[in-house]
Amino acid sequence: MKLNFDKIRKKIMNNKLLYCVDKYRKIVRSRAYDLLMLFHAFFRIGSMSFGSGLTMIPILQAELVEKRHWVKVEDLLNYYALCQGLPGIMMVNISCFVGYQRGKKLGSIVAALGVVTPSIIIITGLAKLFTNYSTNPYITHALNAVSACVCALIFSATVTMFRRVIKDIFSFIVFAVVLSLTLLYKPSPVIIIPVSLVVGIVYCKVYRMIEGKWKQKLSQEIDSNDNFDLDFSSRS
């Protein structure tokens, strides 16, 4: 006996209650699938977490930007810059931002759980084993190889951030000043980050003020000049 799916579909469409139940079920299923994919993506990212938060930029870019197209590179770098001034683990903070963009509050929770679950599994499962075999030459050489890989990831993330962030003279001056101070005096990031934040806000306000005055002056000159020709296409 074959089922006539067209008749079943029409019956569901004609019955408002069945239609609402079917529509709600599809919404819930789609929502659950999105959250599952969010957890899966950050579980993959968390399982490859080695070193500092800066090493995660290439992995986040490959997984979230290039593969899944969930966020843009600029948004990812903005999340990273914002998390520099927030308390807590940087990777968890970034996952909360991306998760909230994808699924609001529940998405933030799911993304945070996804990124910390591999660390919990590894720590609880391998902590004792690593303590017993930490002097093993194979373990030592493996960790040295991971350290070299982390250095390469940090360099790649630095190049990516430099190409995306340094867009004008102001950002280059801030970069050069902070780099010079860091190399010469090694100030704490607790000081550098808030000061850079204040400098950026002040520059934005001053720039907008100057730009507004320049536009106002230009509009006044245009209004005062009765012979000003607005038809630029007629000029040679």
Considering just the CA atoms, what is the radius of gyration of the chain in Å?
27
Helix (H, G, I), strand (E, B) or coil at 146: helix
> Residue 56 has what pLDDT?
80
Question: How many CA atoms lie less than 13 Å away from 86 in the CB half-sphere?
Answer: 16
Residue 173 CB partners (closer than 8 Å, separation 6+): none
> Residue 48 has what pLDDT?
79
Distance set, CA 41 to CA 19, 37, 48, 54, 99 (Å): 33, 6, 11, 18, 11
Helix (H, G, I), strand (E, B) or coil at 69: coil
| Amino acid present at 109 | I
Distance from the Cα of residue 152 to its chain's centroid: 20
DSSP string, 156-205: HHHHHHHHHH--SHHHHHHHHHHHHHHHHT---HHHHHHHHHHHHHHHHH
> Residue 189 has what pLDDT?
83
Q: Could you tell me the end-to-end alpha-carbon distance of the chain, in angstroms, rounded to an integer?
A: 80
Number of residues written out for the chain: 236
> Residue 176 has what pLDDT?
92
User: Which residues of the chain fall below pLDDT 70?
Assistant: 1-29, 51-53, 127-128, 130-131, 133-134, 225-236
Say which DSSP state 73 is in: H
| Cα–Cα nearest to 49, from 161, 158, 153 | 153
pTM of the predicted protein model: 0.66
Per-residue pLDDT tens digits for 184-208? 988 888 888 889 989 999 998 998 8
Sign for the CA dihedral angle at 69, 23, 107, 124 comes to negative
